[in-house]
Structure formats: C-alpha cells, structure tokens
Amino acid sequence: MFRFSHLNRLVTVVTLLSLVGAFTLVADASHSWGSYHWARTVNPFTLKLGDNVSFAWDPFLATASGDWTQSSILNTTVVSGSTDSRRCRATNGRVEVCSNRYGNNGWLGIASIWISGSHITKGTVRVNDTYFNTSRYNTPGWRGFVMCQEVGHTFGLDHQDEDFYNSNLGSCMDYSGDPDGTINGQLSNEHPNNHDYEQLETIYAHLDSSATLLSDRRGTAAGALALARANLEELDLNSPREWGRVIRTARDGRSSLYERDLGRGEKVFTFVIWAD
C-alpha cells in the first residue's frame, strides 16, 4: 500500500515536472530562441558598437548603448565605425551600426548576426532612412524603439512578442505600432525591460574557453579560427534576397527571422522589422 502510493506520488511529481519543463521550453522559445551568444572568457564583457550612423541617429545609438549596459552581464561602448554605412560591412568580434537611405525595399530596420556553431562572431545593425525620413517614422519613439531592438538582437536576444497590435510589454524587444505608448496611453517600448536583462543573464551564465569577442584578450586559437572562417563570405544584406530562408513569421503573417546557411556550421540570422 505504502509502495503503491509512493510510486503514485512519484509519477505525479514527474508528470508535473514534465509539464513545468514543457512550459519553460515554450516561454524560452518565445524569446531566446537558440541560445546563440558571443564566446567570452570573462563576465561582464564589453561589446563594441561601431558608429556608422548619421547625426540624427547618434543620440538614439547612445541611449541604446546606455540602456543595454544596465545589464549586469554586459557593457557596450560606442566606438568609431569601420565601414561605409551603405555597405555596412561586418567586422569580426564586434558590431557595426549603420544608417543610410537603403531604398524602398520594405524594411525599417534589420539586425544580422553571424554564427559559428553556437557562437556569434560578428553583427550588423541597419536602420533605413528611406522610411525614417518620412513623417510616419521620423519620431523619437520609432527611432529609439528600432535602434534598441536591433542592437538587442546582436547579443543573441529574440523578440518577446511579434504582434504589432497588442498592448506594449514595456520592452523594445516587443513589436509595436505605438512605440512610445502615447497613442494608446500604454507602456513605452523604447527601452529594454527586466525580462530582457534576465534573458541576457541566462544566455551568458556560462563562460567559454575561447572568445569570439574582439575585446576579450584571453581569446584562444579556437576563437581566432572561428573568426577567420567567419570572414570568408561577404553578403549584401541590404537586399532581402540575400537573407536566406524564412524561419519565422510574425502574427501579421510577415516574416520576422531569416537564416542563411553558409556551410561549415556557419549561418547568418537576420531579424527584420518591416515598414507599413
């Protein structure tokens, strides 16, 4: 009798645990998506953001950098850019942030990260002035929201929510049609929220034995090899045709995440916010 009820209880506990596990997986999948991260040997670490943006964008890049640096696990610093903003060529071990009139190709902002295994080797952010120069998007709310989100993707963060029309979560990683919250009197989505910082702590809880991060002096040969390989292919990511296959679609039916397979375990993921 005792044995039976004991076993019964065990089964119940195991079942409950599996349910909790399943819910945890679903919750994680909505945000961290693949646990891709920069390889580094120390925490907190510093990621350099190359400034290839126009005057109008500088305050928004500075705010995004300051906001994300509130994280206990990472710091970002804005440094001189190393590419022309039109090409927005990626630099190993850091992120290049670019603004330009990229044309009427549909996208407001994109972030691309190069992956070797599970490690990010470089990243780019592009904001499209073809749309940001129009009255619809030329607002502090839209500029702050898109810059914050695209920079967030370069750490390996995913969107918290991909519905433009539900209530703001108070995070720039949440799609919104009312980024500063003034139209519907709701939370502002111009900055990260606690859930974003918690997610970063989860993704970066471990340390790596080598580094893909340029600022990590203790990076070893393995990290350098991953960087060298990641430098082989240059892509013109201004064009959606170069982004590869759609791997996720947002609530409104439009694509939100692309994967371009470069072979040898290397991929480029591109996150997109479409303009209306």
- Min CB(133)–Zn ion separation in Å: 21
Instruction: Decide whether 208 or 216 has the Cβ nearer to Zn ion.
Output: 208
Part in contact with Zn ion (CB under 5 A); list of ranges 127-135, 136-144, 149-157, 218-226: 149-157
Instruction: Decide whether 53 or 203 has the Cβ nearer to Zn ion.
Output: 203
- Min CB(39)–Zn ion separation in Å: 5
Length of the chain: 276
156 alpha carbon, distance to own chain's centre: 5
Does the footprint of Zn ion cover residue 208 (CB under 5 A)?
yes
Q: Rounded to an integer, what distance in angstroms lies between the CA atom of residue 208 and that of residue 86?
A: 34
List the beta strands (DSSP E) in the chain: 37-38, 45-52, 74-80, 95-100, 107-116, 119-128, 245-249, 255-263, 266-274
Tell me if the bond preceding 44 is cis, omega within 30° of 0: yes
Smallest CA-to-CA distance from 192 within 225, 227, 160, 234 is with: 160
Instruction: Decide whether 142 or 271 has the Cβ nearer to Zn ion.
Output: 271
Does the footprint of Zn ion cover residue 216 (CB under 5 A)?
no
- Which residue type, as a one-letter code, is found at position 164? F
Does the footprint of Zn ion cover residue 269 (CB under 5 A)?
no
Q: Any idea of the CA torsion for 149, 155, 156, 158, to the nearest 10 degrees?
A: -20
- Min CB(163)–Zn ion separation in Å: 13
- Min CB(14)–Zn ion separation in Å: 30
What's the token pair of residue 237? 């990511």
Per-residue contact string for residues 90-129; x = within reach of Zn ion by CB under 5 A = ----------------------------------------
- Min CB(111)–Zn ion separation in Å: 6
Binds Zn ion (CB under 5 A): choice among 68, 114, 271, 274: 271
- Binding interface with Zn ion (CB under 5 A): 149, 208, 271
